[in-house]
Structures are given as C-alpha cells and as structure tokens.
Structure 1
C-alpha cells in the first residue's frame, strides 16, 4: 500500500489544484511514524459493519455518516446513499444518485458525491462535484428536489432555519431554500491560484450569523438572511518561500461557543475571534485543515503534521501535545465516553486520555484507512473507511 506509506505528501497532492509538481525529490517524501506501543485498557466491541458501495477510494472526500435517534445515513462517492438501522446496520432503503444528476451530460456513471451528508427532519441533503445539491426523503430515499449550484459542493450542507448554506469549490457561499431548492442568495469570495482541495463548512450562530473560512486565509461572517458581509479577519500569515508553504486556506469548520469563534488556517494561526466584530482575542502559531472539538473548556485539534494538541478555550495555552502519530494522516478528533478518538490512514483507531494525551487503546479496524472523522450517535461510535465499510462500535472494558 505505497499510497499510504507516503500519505502526507500524497494527501497534499490530492488537495492541490496543480497536482504533484512540487514533490521532486526523495527529501519531499515524509513517512508515517511507526505505531506507538499501547497497552490496551479496553477493546472496541463491534455491533455491526456493512458496506456502502466503493467508498471514497483514494479521493479526498469529506463524506461521512450522519444520523438521528433511529437511522444512520451513509454514502459513497459514486452515488449510493443508504439509510441503515442504527442498532443493527440493516438497510432500510438505498438509492443510486448516479443516474439522477439530470442537469448535465456525464461521461461516467459516478454522481461524484463529495459535500457530506446532512439530515434535517424529513430530508437528507448531499452535494456533488457535478455542482448538484440533492434533497432526499429520509423515509424512503426518493429525490424530493435537486438544484444546480455555483460549483463543486465540497462542504457539508448546513441548515439554518429555512435555508441551507453551502460552500462551493470556486469560492461561492450560497443559501438555498431547504423546501424547494431555490437559490436565495450567493456571495462570491476571492480564490487564489493555488489552494487546498476542500472548503470550510459554515458555522451558524443563534444571532443569525454564518461564519466560514476561505482560501484567502480569512474568516468571514455574513448575515444568514441576506448574505451581507459583516466582517473579515485574516488569520493566515505567509511565512515560507515555496508555493506549498504559502498556501493559506482556512478549510476547517469554525466553531462558535458563547459569542467566540475558533478557527485555524493551514499555514497560519489558530485564533479566537469576537463573533460580533471579528476582533482577535488570542492566537497561537498552529495550522490545521481538520475540524476541531471543544469539550469541557478545552480545544482538541490535529495540526498539519498530525500532532494532537489540547488547549484551553479561554486563553489558547497548550495543555498537552501528543507527537507519536506524526504524518499518519489523522482524522479530526471526536470525544467519545470522555476519551479523544482519532482514526488514521492505515485504518487504526487511537483512543487517548483527554486530560493528558496519553494513549489508552489502539485497534486496527480497516486497512483501507480513514479520512472522515468518527462520530458519536446514541452511545455508539460510528466510522466509515475509505473502501466504504461502515462500522458501529461500543466500548468494552477488558477483564483479568
């Protein structure tokens, strides 16, 4: 599996619009850190596993499961969308969107789903690289509506009241009526010549503000009802001389907590901003493309070198750093039963003590590896591998 042995440089190549031209020598290849030795304190008890098409393969895609109290919704890049029983993994319904694009002539039979899944009430939303947003009936998978949007839907659709917000690959933010798919407003942002492949999911505040990152190294806030720009704040500082070192995308989804926005740039800073003004409250020199997690007053993130870091949310002061998983292509972290959980590109799940970053348990799950972060639903840990296999686990303590 040579792809995974040079995962970090390979992943950058997938992100970049201009391919791999910058990786010209053996010095540019960064190998994965060896697995740390971990004495497992518990094991993962598999409840069920099932396959969803071909998954995402070696593509960079943010597709990952979403669910509610009863059902789990999953998809593969080619166009299969399935509803699964959350307790058993059995298929409730399935539909193939590859034949339902409708707006454009497609040379292959792939729907190229890419924008993540979102469930809201009776509807499930998913976007594609063909610049189509689908709304499916959550009870039977039928297509309720589909809309041609401004570009590749690389972000997850985010719901705010009667609108869906999406961030397209050409730098457009669009608000779409969630009932009928009509375009409500469009905001055009600057896109540099070279950027990472991926777009920031918008974050929604209760005050009617949407906040998102952009390829221009800025965090922007807009009014949800009209798409009017409220403020922009630059958080990426170009420091290097090479093209890759000068990439300044903010691709992670900002988090809003108590009127404070937390966001990070790839080559830049991790910052806390005032929601109403964009003023920087504090910043530290950390870069990331992964979404972060905030729990019990602490921020957990994976930086661009796959170092796991915990910081205080009020000051940004690091509490601990875990560097034994460098360049293993980690997923975004999630809190499950008080532990911090990440997947990696070789298909391992790593569990860490959230208070000090020590390893608690490590388990190989799927050799195709993980890109999408695990999620927690109704006490279950759900994760989808690159090859499309979806797993449901619960924690099981080991006995002497």
Structure 2
C-alpha cells in the first residue's frame, strides 16, 4: 500500500503550514489593521453547487471570450457572462469533478475523482465524450485544439484525441512515496505541453506525439524523512508576458525561469512554494510556503520586496490586478498588496469556507471562486 494515499490529504492543508512555519510560531498570523487605500466593490456573484466540498480540490474558473466557466465537485457546471454574471447555461452531471475547467474554442474539459476526462460542448453543455483513466484527475485538462493533455494523481500524462478522447500517447513519471494532494495543470504553448511533477521535474512534450523535448529538475529531495524530501511541482506553470519563458515553482525547492523552446534555465532562486507565480511589467511575484509574498526582478537578480504579515495563512496563487497583487487565504479573505512595495491596500471577506482556487484578473474585474461554490466579481476603486 502506498504511503501517498494515507498522508497526502493531511499534508494538503495543516502539514504544509506546520513544516514551513517558523520554529516559535505555527499558528496562522492574525489579521493586522492598516489604512485601506483601495476598495473592492462587488459587481456580481453567482453560487454553484458545493464548490470544492470537503476534498482539498482547487477547481478553478476559466475565462474565455465573453464568458467565464465554473464547476463544482458535485457535478455542476455553469457558463456565465463575465461582465454581469448572467447565466448562459447551467447543467448537472453525474460526475465527481476534481479538476477543471479547461477550455478550447468548442469544448470544455473536466477531470473527475473517478479517473475520467470529460469533454463538454461549450455552447450547449452536452457531453461530447468521456474516457476513463486509471487515477484521479486533480487539475484541468488542457488542449491546443488537436490534442487534450491531462495529468493524473498517479503521475501519468495522457495525450487524447481532441475529437473523441482516444489515447494518442502516454508518459509515466516516477512517483515519490509521499506527495502533496494535487497535481500541476498542464501548460500548453502552441505545440508544446509543459507539466510539473511530484518528483520535482518539469518536462516539456511534443503535444502531438508525446516525445520529450526537455526535462528540468526544479527541486532535489533532501533530508532524512519523507516529509523533508517532498519536492512537488504542484503550482501552475506561469508563461511570462514575453511568451518565451515559463516560471516553475517547487515545494522545498527553487523558482526557475526556463526558455520554453530549448528548456534552458534562464535563472534560478531558492524558494519553497506550492502555488504558481504571477508576473507583470518586469517583475515576478511568488507566494512562499511560509505565507510570505515576494517580488523579484524577472531576470531573477533582485529581490524587490517581501511581505510577511500573512504568514501561515495558506495563501492562494498570486494574481496581478491593475496595480495590486491579490492573494486569498484559508479564512476566505481576499488581500490586495501594492505592486510597487507590497503594503496592504485593501481587504474583503469573500467566503467563510475559505479560498483555495487560483483567481482570475480580466480587464477591470477580479474573479474569486470560494470554497463553498460562490463566484464573485470585484472592481477596484480608490477610497
């Protein structure tokens, strides 16, 4: 019996905080008062099913065109107008959704706890095809319109035919005895699919045939215990604004910028993170496992600022929203930090069940999907 299945659910929440915290304090930092310079105004909200439910899912919404798509773990999916939140369609399926939503020009893609990948017509909401894999799917399948790429919790990657789900190729990684509860979402750039693995590697594949283009080790296991040797690349890979570089983060490892075509490392910094990075205007923003938010130059050379007031609050992936950096926490608070120096400028509580899924900033709205299934769109205003 694998150690993975017994321990990883616990690691997903409490253990991450405990391992990465300071020796003298393992409790989440209390919220501090500050002079709010900005105000988050709710534009609209929409509730769907039971959201992430009791499982440690990070089912994220997806914006494409004029619509935003959301899914809940109890099998509900909705397409909404992204400007006003009005429902385009909503359907309930006999699915235990655990990874979603991927989107293409014609299909939506979700993964399930039962090891299925399901393609859904994005206009009608009808199921087009579904295929069974051998393991739970915890991240959203992705596609270039020809091939659908999915990673399973067992460390396998499958390339599926876009039209009917037939398997085209597969890859199996070496899974450590102990992993976190999650998998990296495949990142597709043209004909390249890049995926982070629980063994600390990021591998790029030719999306059409599955051949390996390059393999970079982001983190090397160290220590004498299985917990100390955790090196998962769980966070989403971030394609930077230049379109030529991808940034990968690893737990108890490094942050690495990689040339997408060659796989050559451009810079590396020591860090520990289990969520993806953000970038904007020559800066990269990283949420460390200890709850600090960090800004560095996008050449990896300079640390610009570090904000520690949210220590051990189990922060989400950061998002750049206008002139701020947004992060959510385990108590459901959304925090905005000034992009230039990291000071707190705004805060609001979105969902008392907490925030875990990555947020989306699109034009002038920030979309936040709470653990209870509440999706809220915010506009940023000056006080």
1:231-310 alignment to 2 at 5 Å?
Answer: 231-257=214-240, 258=242, 259-310=244-295
Match of 1:32 in 2: 28
* Offset, 1:222: 1.7
Match of 1:124 in 2: 108
1:329 equivalenced with 2:326 (yes/no): no
d(CA) in 1 for partners of 2:62, 2:266: 33
From 203, 207, 226, the equivalent of 1:220 is 203
User: Which stretch has the larger CA shift, 320-329 or 362-371?
Assistant: 362-371
Match of 1:340 in 2: 325
Check whether the contact 1:15–1:195 (CA below 8 A) recurs between aligned residues: no
1:51 equivalenced with 2:69 (yes/no): no
Q: Which runs of 5+ in 1 are unaligned?
A: 1-9, 99-110
1:1-400 alignment to 2 at 5 Å?
Answer: 13-15=10-12, 30-98=26-94, 111-206=95-190, 208-257=191-240, 258=242, 259-398=244-383
Could you state the TM-score of these two structures normalised by the residue count of structure 1?
Answer: 0.86
* Offset, 1:383: 0.8
Aligned residue-pair number: 370
Match of 2:4 in 1: none
d(CA) in 2 for partners of 1:120, 1:261: 21
The 1:58–1:11 alpha-carbon spacing in structure 2 relative to 1, beyond 3 Å, is farther
d(CA) in 1 for partners of 2:188, 2:124: 29
Question: What secondary structure is seen at the aligned counterpart in 2 of 1:13?
Answer: helix
Deviations 1:248-281 (A, max 9, x none): 1111222344543321211111122343443433
Could you state the TM-score of these two structures normalised by the residue count of structure 2?
Answer: 0.90
d(CA) in 2 for partners of 1:74, 1:209: 26
The 1:363–1:11 alpha-carbon spacing in structure 2 relative to 1, beyond 3 Å, is farther
d(CA) in 2 for partners of 1:216, 1:69: 36
Question: What secondary structure is seen at the aligned counterpart in 1 of 2:31?
Answer: coil
Q: Which runs of 5+ in 2 are unaligned?
A: 1-6
The 1:372–1:353 alpha-carbon spacing in structure 2 relative to 1, beyond 3 Å, is same
State the 4+ residue runs in structure 1 displaced beyond 4 angstroms.
none
Deviations 1:307-347 (A, max 9, x none): 10111111343111111101111110111112111111111
Question: What secondary structure is seen at the aligned counterpart in 1 of 2:83?
Answer: coil
Check whether the contact 1:82–1:91 (CA below 8 A) recurs between aligned residues: yes
* Offset, 1:137: 1.6
The 1:123–1:205 alpha-carbon spacing in structure 2 relative to 1, beyond 3 Å, is closer
d(CA) in 1 for partners of 2:68, 2:212: 35
The 1:378–1:76 alpha-carbon spacing in structure 2 relative to 1, beyond 3 Å, is same
RMSD, aligned α-carbons: 2.3
